[in-house]
Amino acid sequence: MLNISVPYQKLLHLLEKLEIKDEELGGLEPYHRLFTSRKDEYAAYLRHYFLAIPETRALLEHLEHPEHLMRAWAHWFETLFTERPGREFAARLWRVGLRHVEVNLDQRYTNLGFSITRHFCNQIVRSSVPAEEAVAVSHTIGKLLDFCLLVETSAYIEATTRCDLEVIKGIADKVRNPVTVIGGNIKRLQRKVDTGDPLYDIYGSLFSENMRLERMVLDIKNYIDMFNGDPDTRALSLDEIVTHTIGRLEAEGRYGTMRIEKALDPSCLHVEGDRRDMEFLFYYLLQNSFEAADPGDPLIRISSCREEFPYRCVVVEIFNTGIPPKEEDIEKLFSPFYSTKSTGTGFGLPIARLAVRKNYGRLELVPVPGEGTKVRITLSLAHPESSA
């Protein structure tokens, strides 16, 4: 069984958004028996429908114990009317969604199953519920089914995404040690030949590519760790994060001639966000700007301002000289593994976008024709007294 904990807060938030009121559930109660007494008929109805589809028919005909599935469908239908939506109900639905991933069930058939269920329930309402109450009863059942579909889909997406990322992370972990060993051996071989020997440049090229692989493995790990982690938001000093990041990049020794101008608005020096996410955000954006800056005029300008609409926020702009990207290439730059630089890993901007989205911000890449490129980052404004 997939071991992914139930995100109760997120699921109960979905329930709250659907606005399933107590009076609506109360209006459905007199008809509980009407629906639960037909649970076996519902299971047979669902089976009959799926047997008519070649893909699902094959699944059903190869079940070792088809009666177990029929009982599970009947039980689920019964609990829809006997159990009030809440933590336990959501947890049960979440586990069903995870189970669908384990058995490799296409989510489209799950969605179809809910549509069939809605049709079955509406048939009962039309035939057995008084006309003056039919609309309200159908509306409440519809909300309950919407909640079931949202929870199971959330579980399915979470599980499939987690599985995909775990595979990628596993590959990265397995590659990291051999890549490091290969890089060390290449460097040792290079030291054994004279600088004028053609092999010296060949070893240098191999070592450079190996270093790119090492950085890519590290970036993949950072991307996955950030994706899986929940943000711990608090007030953070924007100046502190930017200054620390600049120092970190300068310490790498690749940007010695870079001119850096910093003009942060003193009225909005604190942002709301997760520290680790914010450090990744500015590290990768500034690294990207440093690498893209015009070698003949390597300038980075970091500025900020406060905005009140549509919500109180801080807008940070990072400008670098150099050739701006083409409009048609901007979205590609946010795709993993895509890079316009020969030494790039293709993960800098995807990590930055993920960091800003996790913290409810926005990130834009704006070409400045004839001058360079501007990155515009919108983050929530915070007050220093809320920092921890």
Residue type, 261: E
- DSSP assignment of 19-88, as one string? T--HHHHHHHGGGHHHHHTTHHHHHHHHHHHHHTSHHHHHHHHT-S-HHHHHHHHHHHHHHHHHS-SSHH
Contact 125, 141 (CB under 8 A): yes
pLDDT at residue 338, as a whole number: 73
Does residue 310 have a cis bond before it (omega within 30 degrees)?
A: yes
Under DSSP, the state recorded for 311 is: S
Q: What is the DSSP letter of 331?
A: T
pLDDT recorded at residue 172: 76
Q: Which fold has domain 1-228?
A: Globin-like (1.10.490)
Give the amino acid at 212: R
Sign of CA dihedral 132, 137, 138, 143: positive
Nearest to 242 by CA among 313, 311, 322, 300: 300
Residue 307, classed as helix, strand or coil, is strand
Domain with CATH 3.30.565.10 in the chain: 233-386
Q: How far is CA 33 from CA 27, 55, 79, 126, 168, in A?
A: 13, 34, 12, 16, 49
pLDDT value of position 2: 58
Q: Which two tokens stand for residue 366?
A: 């704006």
CA gap 194, 20 in Å, rounded? 77
Look at phi and psi of residue 77 and say left if phi exceeds 0, alpha if psi is from -120 to 50, else beta.
alpha
Cite the residue boundaries of each domain of the chain with CATH code 1.10.490.10: 1-228
Chain Cα centroid distance, residue 375: 21
Q: Which fold has domain 233-386?
A: Heat Shock Protein 90 (3.30.565)
Q: pLDDT tens string for the chain (388 positions)?
A: 456 788 888 888 888 889 889 999 999 999 999 999 999 999 999 999 999 998 888 888 888 888 999 999 999 999 999 999 999 999 999 988 888 877 777 888 889 999 999 999 999 999 999 999 999 999 999 999 999 999 998 888 878 777 666 776 777 777 888 888 999 999 999 999 999 999 999 999 999 888 888 888 888 888 877 777 778 889 999 999 999 999 988 888 777 788 999 999 999 999 999 999 999 999 999 999 998 899 999 999 999 999 987 778 999 999 999 999 888 888 888 887 777 776 677 878 888 998 998 888 999 999 999 999 999 999 999 865 554 4
User: Rg of the Cα trace of the chain?
Assistant: 28
Rounded CA-CA distance 159/161 in Å is: 5
pTM of the entire structure? 0.59
Q: So what's the pLDDT on residue 163?
A: 66
For 55, left (φ over 0), alpha (ψ -120 to 50), or beta?
alpha
